[in-house]
Structure 1
Amino acid sequence: MTWHWVAEHEPRWDQDKAAALGDLPPTLFGLGHPEVGRPLGDAWWRVEDETGAAIGYGRLDDTWGDAEILIIAAPTVRRTGVGAFVLENLEREAAARQLNYVYNVVPTRHPAGEDVRGWLTHHGFAATEVGELRKRVAAGATPRAD
C-alpha cells in the first residue's frame, strides 16, 4: 500500500472528513456541528491511498510550544497502520515547528476510549496528572515528502 501525506492549506469540513469519523460525532473531538465547506482551524493533513481517496486525517493544534493532535483513520482502514502513519507524520510536523510535546486527550465518552489510550501508550505516550497523554517530540525529525 502506498499512502500520501497531503497538507490541507485551507482546511474545510467536508464529506470525506465526516466519513472518516464513521459513527463518531465531530462534537466528541471539539469540532462542534460543522457544516460542509466551513473553514477549520489549526493545521490539517489528509492521507490519500494510491487512488487518491482520503483514508485518514491528522490535525495539529500548536500553542505554547506543544501541540494537541487528532488522528483519524477511516473505518475501512482501521487496524491497517494508517493511524500510525498519521502519528508519525504529525510528530515530524511538530518537530519541524520545533515543538516540545504532542498530546491527546481521549474524550471520556469515546466508545473505544480504553483502546485508544492503550494504542497511544503503545506508541510512546505517557499519562499526565491532568488526563493528557503526552509524547516528547524527537528533535531533528522532518516531514516526509511524498
Structure 2
Amino acid sequence: MTDGAPELTWTAEPTPRWDADKAAAFSPAGPTVHGLGTPDEGDALGDAWWRVETADGEVAGFGRLDDTWGDAEVLVAVVPAFRQRGVGAWAMDRLAEEAAARSLNYVYNVVPVAHPDREAVTAWLGVQNFDTRETGELRRRVTTRAATTAPSQ
C-alpha cells in the first residue's frame, strides 16, 4: 500500500475463533449488530475468515466471506487505530478476489439498521463499487482474473 498506509498481509484463519483482536475490530458496534451473536473468547465462528496484519504482525482488521448460491455476503472489520488508512478498502478487494477464486458472481452486504455508523458505512461501500438495491442490500459484481485478462475478439 502507499500514501502512508501500512504494508499488509492477508492470512486465512483455518479455524476462526472469537478473540480480543476481533472484539477490538468490531468496536463500537459489537458482534451482535453484525449477526454474530455474543461470542465469548475462543468461540468458533462460521464462514471463512481472514486476518489482516501489518508487516510487523500487528492486527489491523478482518474479512469474512459467507458464500451461498453463487454469491457471498462479506464483512470487513478494521481495528480503530487503522481506520481511515485504506485497510478496509484493501481487505474488501481481497474478499472480492476470494469470491472470484470460488467462481462466485457477487459480493454483498446489508448494513444493519442498528449499526452506529450506518450511513457512513453505506456510503463507504458505494465508494467500493457496491450498488444499492431497493431491498437495502449492497452488491458488487465479482470478476475473475481470466475475465479481466482475456484477449478481446
TM range (shorter): over 0.9
Which of 53, 56, 70 pairs up with 1:65?
70
The equivalent of 1:13 in structure 2 is 18
TM-superposed CA distance for 1:111, in Å, is 1.2
What are the ranges of 5 or more consecutive residues in structure 1 without an aligned counterpart? 142-146
1:77 equivalent in alignment to 2:87: no
TM-superposed CA distance for 1:55, in Å, is 1.0
In the alignment, the residues of structure 2 paired with residue 54 and residue 101 of structure 1 have an alpha-carbon distance, to the nearest angstrom, of 27
In the alignment, the residues of structure 2 paired with residue 105 and residue 49 of structure 1 have an alpha-carbon distance, to the nearest angstrom, of 28
Match for 2:59: what amino acid? A
Identity of aligned residues (%): 55
In the alignment, the residues of structure 2 paired with residue 53 and residue 140 of structure 1 have an alpha-carbon distance, to the nearest angstrom, of 30
In the alignment, the residues of structure 2 paired with residue 50 and residue 139 of structure 1 have an alpha-carbon distance, to the nearest angstrom, of 27
Across the aligned residues of Structure 1 and Structure 2, the Cα RMSD in angstroms comes to 1.0
In the alignment, the residues of structure 1 paired with residue 87 and residue 27 of structure 2 have an alpha-carbon distance, to the nearest angstrom, of 15
In the alignment, the residues of structure 1 paired with residue 140 and residue 25 of structure 2 have an alpha-carbon distance, to the nearest angstrom, of 25
Which of 117, 130, 133 pairs up with 1:128?
133
Which of 28, 32, 35 pairs up with 2:37?
32
1:137 equivalent in alignment to 2:136: no
TM-score, normalised with respect to structure 1: 0.94
The equivalent of 1:144 in structure 2 is none
The equivalent of 1:96 in structure 2 is 101
Match for 1:91: what amino acid? A
1:46 equivalent in alignment to 2:63: no
Structure 1 SS opposite 2:145: coil
TM-superposed CA distance for 1:36, in Å, is 0.7
TM-superposed CA distance for 1:56, in Å, is 0.4
In the alignment, the residues of structure 1 paired with residue 55 and residue 42 of structure 2 have an alpha-carbon distance, to the nearest angstrom, of 25
TM-superposed CA distance for 1:122, in Å, is 1.1
Give every structure 1 segment of 4 or more consecutive aligned residues whose post-TM-superposition deviation is greater than 4 Å. none
* Structure exhibiting the larger radius of gyration computed from Cα positions: 2
What are the ranges of 5 or more consecutive residues in structure 2 without an aligned counterpart? 1-5, 147-153
TM-superposed CA distance for 1:22, in Å, is 2.0
TM-score, normalised with respect to structure 2: 0.89
